[in-house]
Amino acid sequence: MEQIFKSVTRKWGNSLGIVIPLNVIKEENLKENREVTLKLVKKSPFEELFGSVKFKRPVKEIVRKLKKECDI
C-alpha cells in the first residue's frame, strides 16, 4: 500500500534520518528492521524562495504561471 506523508530530515550521527508518523506505522504494520522503499520528492527551488522575497504579483499567480509554462 502507498502512504504519503511529509517529514523533515534530522541529523542522526553522520547521516540524516526521517521520522515516520505513528499512524503510518500502525496502518502499515511496520516493525523494527522492516525494509521499506521511499520516494523522495523535494520542493522546487521556487517554493523554497517564496516568503523570503517580496513580489509585485501574488505568489499563487506566479506559481500558476510557472507551472503552466514548465508543464509541472
What is the pLDDT at residue 16?
93
Distances (CA, A) of 43 to 28, 36, 47: 26, 22, 6
For residue 63, name the pLDDT band (cuts at 50, 70, 90).
confident
> Has residue 40 been placed in a domain?
yes
The grid coordinates of residue 35 equal 525494509
70 versus 22: the higher-pLDDT residue is 22
> Has residue 5 been placed in a domain?
no
> Has residue 4 been placed in a domain?
no
Residue-range definition of the domain harbouring residue 18: 10-70
> Has residue 34 been placed in a domain?
yes
Tally of structural domains, the chain = 1
Model confidence pLDDT, tens digit, residues 5-62: 888 889 999 999 999 999 999 999 999 999 988 888 777 776 666 666 677 888 788 8
In this structure, the number of other CB atoms found within 10 A of the CB of residue 32 comes to 4
Q: What are phi and psi of 46, to 5 degrees?
A: -65, -45
> Has residue 3 been placed in a domain?
no
